[in-house]
Chains A and B, each alone.
Chain A
Amino acid sequence: MRGVKADQPLPHGHGSVSPFLSRARKQAVVLAFVSATAFAHVGSPDVFFQGNAGPYPLLVTIRPPDVIPGVARIEVRSLAPGVEKIELTPTPMTGIASTHPPVADVAQRVAGDTQSFEGALWLMSVGSWEVHIRASGPKGTGELPVPVPAVALRMQPMSRGVSYFLLGMMALLAVGIVAIVGAGVREATLDPEVPAKRWSRKTTVAMACASAVVIAALWGGNAWWVSDAATYSQRIYKPLGITATLNQPDQLQLRVTDPGWLKQRRLDDLIPDHGHLMHLFLVRWPAMDRIAHLHPEQTATGFFETRLPSLPAGTYRVYGDIVHESGFAETAIGELALPNVDGKPVTGDDAEGPTVFETGYKMVWVHGESKPVIAKQVALFSFEIVGLDGKPASNLEPYMGMGGHAEFIKDDGSVFAHLHPTGSVPMASVAVASPAAMIAMHETSVGPVVSFPYGIPTVGQYKIFVQLKRAGKVVTGAFDVTVI
């Protein structure tokens, strides 16, 4: 289990506009900084990636560890028969170490399934890693680089059994060493057979000194432990925040804020993903009945600006997807209260929805309702646009180079994931890992069915927004799903 829930409630009520806003309708103010695990997605640390390792189409799942250094679990499923061997090699995505791979690990074939393989790899440092999946078979060999962000997510508490064992050993060893010192002073220098005095001042002083040393050692050890734990806790990932101001009736100013994590994190090193430095999602909360997928322009380091489409008043969750030049992707998170916004219709790559489809067309989840969705289990979520005749629309187009974009959002706000048909990895990260792989993944023809590989991280109620492009227009479908 790797999913981490947002464990802090929002400080303000959901779905209402604050009194301040009712007085100053021109301004929208961020109400809260949402605490959650959010490096490229929120509460969804596992990586899902679909691509070709040479002649072999693969679906890869990487479940990163909670602590770094730690062990990532890797599942590889060949989508076509013929793969005989899968080798796994982790390297940092950039820098000199990216050119010195360690010895590859061979993934083990899953019993009873000739196309599935499992393996484990150590991720040794925080940052942007890639796992090279090398597939071999009769058609030769091929490699698929899969970007993986490695961050420490939490500190694992000590189990009751281990803590009792260690406390018991500590007590035994503390008493033992004091008794040994006492025995040493009392008897060790006596000749054989000479009876020892039961007690003496010297023995008492020695045992008192030993006790003092033991107490001092335990105190010092505890202080050291606390200090190391505090140092480690600073390495636990802290998501970027995002604050916003509505400075014109339909213009949103955004500021990405760093709550302090690793000093290496910068905001002046962002690279475009699908041609945009930020993919901004506004989701009306808690109903999740409205979503806007916008692409703000950067006006200065950490500052962005965008026009808003028409949006109803309410509280909105704000998710800003960005990618650093190292390929490390993050989702900046915040919350925003908006008055009724009377904006212009979206243009270009911007989208909002759910779409009210013209008569005769609708977006459907292929076999969606017929199969149970199980937490953490990788599945292909497939969607299509069908006409009145029930036939799928054949005129789908790539949307920002992808067959489509999908957002999975949990109703308690603890999960937000932005997916493509290639999986959960931003294309900008893929480009850093392998420009050739990124080019190969850009889709030129789409559909009619568009599928997203994903393992929803936790049990609960989710909303899926799916954005496909048809006839030059981006349409957004909304689907409810119960995950068991």
Chain B
Amino acid sequence: MERENSIPWYIWLSVFGVTSAMIGVHWDIAWHRSIGRDTFWTPPHVAIQLCGVIAGITCGYLILWTTFTNAPLRAVSVNVLGLRGPLGAFICAWGGFTMIASAPFDDWWHNAYGLDVKILSPPHVVLAIGMVAVEIGCLVLIAARMNRSAGAARRRLEWLFLYVASMILVALLVVVLEYTHRVFLHTAVSYRVISMLTPIVLAIASRTTGRQWAATTVTAMYTVFLLGLLWILPLVPAQPKLGPVLHEVTQLIPSGFPLLIIAPAFVLDLLWPRMVAWKMWQQALVSGALFLVVLLPVQWPFADFLQSPAARNAVFGSSYYDYNQSPQSYAATWRFVPLENAIQFRVGLGIALACSMVSTWLGMGAGEWLKRARR
């Protein structure tokens, strides 16, 4: 009989899998930006697929164990197609199988259309859906356990919950990395994708844990994670193994400086306790607007800084660009991409505002539900 106050092995394994995937994804992107050559068995790919394998095996075992034995988890299990297990285990397993299914799909895609050198391709999205599902499953596993715990155990689980939420944020923002590069940070599309994906995670973290600084903590973890990668990955020597090489590279090229989403997260954490009496939709409207209104004046000038000579160093990482990026490219000449005209920009920001509100509302709803999850 496991103790309800301990953190069970399957949660630790799931958290490990989630971390492995997120390190793997950023490592893989750095690999593509500096070494280029790709096989299924590169270390970053192994780190990513490890997540699917761990999730599939761990949660598959958990489900079979709960279904076919009189395990204590049976009392807190749900029934899916005749099988029993914690809801999070089913979601994790589903994500793991989705990740595994993406591997032959991606391999065929490479053979049929050539190696895709972009993040957003159908097989990559299948992989990302699987990865995010594993993370959501892990989140649900932790939430159910957390809601059945109290005291120090609950607090530990709350920290784990916030950590996994930050990994979800990392995963979601990786998917749109091509739109949030420093050269796009003066376009509405950049703020649209950030507003679409970030508030939902912040609202879930805040609502589910009930901690006052939940959103700030999640974004701080995201920031520390990305800063760690930004500062550690370039220490690894690497050389292009593919042409065309337009620019000499001697080390792994990391993703850029993290987005400053910690600023709106801090403001939201500060103001959310004052809105508790409001209806959820009212909170979502105001919070969504606040998110964008705080993010814009912080991120916009910071993007100017990232494009300046002062940021072209190991701390801010603006000196890094891909081996196959032209020296005349926007990234290599530190220019913003003039993607939109004034009208498109304004309309884009309007859409970003709506996205932020809807995202917050969905996050609040999901957070409320997760707060009640017991199984």
With A162-B108, A180-B94 already in contact, the answer to whether A189 and B369 are too (CB < 8 A) is yes
Q: What B residues does A96 contact at CB under 8 A? A: 246, 326-327
Q: Which residue of chain B lies nearest to A98 when distances are taken between CB atoms in the complex?
A: B244
Q: CB-defined interface of B109-149 with A at 8 Å, one 1/0 digit per residue?
A: 01111110100011001100000000000001000100010
Q: What B residues does A224 contact at CB under 8 A? A: 122
A68 at the interface (CB under 8 A from B): yes
Q: What B residues does A65 contact at CB under 8 A? A: 114
Taking residues whose C-beta sits less than 8 angstroms from the other chain, chain B's interface range is 35 or more
Bound Cα distance A67, B239 (Å): 24
Q: Are A173 and B122 within 8 A (Cβ)? A: no
Q: CB-defined interface of B210-253 with A at 8 Å, one 1/0 digit per residue?
A: 00000000000000000000000000000111111111100000
Bound Cα distance A186, B80 (Å): 10
A155 at the interface (CB under 8 A from B): yes
Surface stretch bound by B, among A42-50, A52-60, A99-107, A428-436: A99-107
B91 at the interface (CB under 8 A from A): yes
State how many angstroms separate the Cβ of B326 from the closest Cβ of chain A.
7
Instruction: Tell me the dominant secondary structure on chain A's binding face.
Output: mixed
Q: What B residues does A69 contact at CB under 8 A? A: 114-115, 117, 242
Q: CB-defined interface of A174-190 with B at 8 Å, one 1/0 digit per residue?
A: 01110110111011111
Bound Cα distance A69, B111 (Å): 9
State how many angstroms separate the Cβ of B254 from the closest Cβ of chain A.
20
A369 at the interface (CB under 8 A from B): no
Q: What B residues does A165 contact at CB under 8 A? A: 101, 104
Q: Are B372 and A189 within 8 A (Cβ)? A: yes
Q: Are B81 and A97 within 8 A (Cβ)? A: no
Contact of A155 among B112, B140, B326 (CB under 8 A): B112
The interface size of chain A toward B, counting residues with CB under 8 Å, comes to 57
Surface stretch bound by A, among B8-16, B48-56, B71-79, B190-198: B71-79
Q: Are A228 and B104 within 8 A (Cβ)? A: no
State how many angstroms separate the Cβ of A220 from the closest Cβ of chain B.
10
Contact of B79 among A183, A189, A192 (CB under 8 A): A183
Q: Are B97 and A173 within 8 A (Cβ)? A: yes
Bound Cα distance A69, B115 (Å): 5
B31 at the interface (CB under 8 A from A): no
Q: Which residue of chain B lies nearest to A67 when distances are taken between CB atoms in the complex?
A: B114
Q: Are A190 and B97 within 8 A (Cβ)? A: no
Bound Cα distance A152, B113 (Å): 8
Q: Are A228 and B113 within 8 A (Cβ)? A: yes
Looking at A69, A105, A229, which has the most chain B CB atoms within 10 Å of its CB? Answer: A69
B360 at the interface (CB under 8 A from A): no
State how many angstroms separate the Cβ of B149 from the closest Cβ of chain A.
12
Q: What A residues does B155 contact at CB under 8 A? A: none
Q: What A residues does B87 contact at CB under 8 A? A: 180, 183-184, 187-188
Contact of B104 among A129, A166, A182 (CB under 8 A): A166
Q: Are A228 and B121 within 8 A (Cβ)? A: yes
Q: CB-defined interface of B73-106 with A at 8 Å, one 1/0 digit per residue?
A: 0011011110000010011001001100100110
B346 at the interface (CB under 8 A from A): no
Bound Cα distance A221, B98 (Å): 14
Q: What A residues does B110 contact at CB under 8 A? A: 67
Q: What B residues does A173 contact at CB under 8 A? A: 94, 97-98, 101
B36 at the interface (CB under 8 A from A): yes
CB-defined A-B contacts under 8 Å, sample of 11: A69-B115, A96-B246, A97-B243, A100-B248, A102-B323, A125-B244, A173-B98, A177-B94, A186-B78, A189-B373, A196-B78
Beyond known contacts A70-B114, A102-B36: 16 more, CB 8 A cutoff: A90-B243, A91-B245, A100-B246, A100-B248, A103-B240, A124-B242, A125-B244, A152-B114, A156-B112, A166-B101, A173-B98, A183-B87, A190-B374, A192-B76, A196-B78, A232-B114
Residues of B whose CB lies within 8 Å of any CB of A are: 36-37, 75-76, 78-81, 87, 90-91, 94, 97-98, 101, 104-105, 108, 110-115, 117, 121-122, 125-126, 140, 144, 148, 239-248, 323-324, 326-327, 369, 372-375
Residues of A whose CB lies within 8 Å of any CB of B are: 65, 67-70, 89-92, 95-97, 100-103, 105, 122, 124-125, 129, 152, 155-159, 162, 165-166, 169-170, 172-173, 175-177, 179-180, 182-184, 186-193, 196, 221, 224-225, 228-229, 232
